[in-house]
Amino acid sequence: MIKVGIIGGSGLDDPNILKDAKEISMGTPFGAPTSVLTCGAIGGIDVAIIARHGKDHSIYPSGVNFRANIWALKEQGCTHILASTAVGSLREEIAPGHLVFPNQFIDHTRKRETTFFDKKEVVHTSMADPFCSNLIDMLSLSAEQMGMPYHKNKTVITIEGPRFSTKAESHMFRSWKADVINMSTVPEVILAREKKMHYAAIAMSTDYDCWHEEEEPVTWEMIVRVMKKNADNVIKLFLDIIPKIKEYDDICIT
């Protein structure tokens, strides 16, 4: 049975989006998730939503309890995860306002819990293809049909935050072939993979980080402004592809 977990920001738990919406509070062996779960249905598919940074966006990036969030979604029966995230662009062609569906990540974090298997047993999980290719294809087709500018199969680098990059770091990340940068995809995608859940990121390009000499360096106000402008596009994608996920026979994941 398919159930979709959504990790993201405000607006996604709107009663007009979810049918029969209700909130569920739960604990995990790793503490409390960063928000209550808002559960309901979209197009006949059960959905559970978590606000990554809390309902009031009060949790800084490395303070997010990623293990509790993923554990809670798995316990609620989620088989797939769609995660919205703001990213800075490291490529000229990925303009602010564009959507990005990455298929690879680079981990540049330093102090986050990145595995469920840190006690009693050691499990080495393949991370060659961390993102679900079926979900990427579905998101790309949906974006194309709705006329949304998008980029697929790109590399996201996750930094610790909450500070933004220096210019030297931004140029270094570009030299590493990273395409976009954020503070949230790792370890979220790793933990989802460990729990054998299909994971895809819907990344909104909000700025050019600080490498682009002709653009203003990124600020939080800039990110919020572009995110609010593009939030409706992300919701449209969710509403379009979630009912279609059941058409893909890809429940098993190794």
Active site residue 118: no
Active site residue 20: no
CB proximity list for 118: less than 8 A, separation 6 or greater: none
- Please identify which of the residues 13, 46, 179, 209 carries the catalytic annotation: 209
CB count in 10 Å sphere of residue 216:
10
DSSP reduced 3-state for 178: coil
Alpha carbons 79 and 126: distance in angstroms, whole number: 18
| Two tokens, residue 107 | 């981990």
> Quick one: how far is CA 71 from the chain centroid?
16
Residue written as tokens 């303009």? Answer: 95
Q: Which residue type, as a one-letter code, is found at position 138?
A: M
Residue written as tokens 């989620």? Answer: 78
Alpha carbons 23 and 111: distance in angstroms, whole number: 31
Residues acting as catalytic residues: 207, 209
